[in-house]
């Protein structure tokens, strides 16, 4: 029972980090592909 809880937490953490990384990449992509950010 304890092990399964640990696995669940690890999995949740992994998914969360993956989402965060993906969102960060999307944000960077949007900023770099939009000239308005560069030229104000």
The pLDDT tens digits of the residues spanning 1-40 come to 678 999 999 999 999 999 999 888 877 776 666 667 666 5
- pLDDT reported for residue 13: 96
Measured between alpha carbons, how far is residue 10 from residues 17, 19, 37 in Å? Answer: 11, 14, 37
- pLDDT reported for residue 26: 79
34 phi-psi bin (left φ>0, alpha ψ -120 to 50, beta other): beta
Rounded distance between C-alpha atoms, residue 28 and residue 1, angstroms: 41
- pLDDT reported for residue 1: 66
- pLDDT reported for residue 3: 83
Q: Which pTM was predicted?
A: 0.56
């Amino acid at each position: 029972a304890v092990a399964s809880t640990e696995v669940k937490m690890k999995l949740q953490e992994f998914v969360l980090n993956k989402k965060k990384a993906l969102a960060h990449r999307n944000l960077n992509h949007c900023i770099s592909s939009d000239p308005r950010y560069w030229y104000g």
